[in-house]
Amino acid sequence: MATPGIAAGAYARLARITDPAAGLSKPAGLTGAGDEGPNFGKMLKDAVGSVVQAGRVSDAQSQAMVAGKANIVDVVTAVAETETAVQALVSVRDKMINAYEEIIRMQI
């Protein structure tokens, strides 16, 4: 079972992973008047942040259950939401890696 210290370390590592994503914005010379589309780095950072938040909620519910202050249904729901969020993030990561590998295989 995860202890609060292990969970805090995992959250800290995930937070460090999201910091470099802020640097994925457009280079200074490529900005234009109509180029105000979505920022990939921000979108990635938000996705990882939502997974981290789901994990925190799950941990809080688990700790409240141990203290006798939470319902088992709430704990199971929070854990299931976290599991789904992690699976979705891993799926997106796999798709990004596949796309990158396909781009690398393209002939110039």
Do 90 and 49 touch, CB atoms closer than 8 A? no
pLDDT at 13: 60
The label of the residue with tokens 């457009």 reads 26
pTM flag (> 0.75): no
Do 82 and 57 touch, CB atoms closer than 8 A? yes
pLDDT in tens, the chain (108 residues): 455 665 566 666 666 665 655 454 454 445 555 556 678 788 888 888 989 999 999 999 999 999 999 889 989 998 999 999 899 889 988 998 999 999 999 988
pLDDT at 22: 47
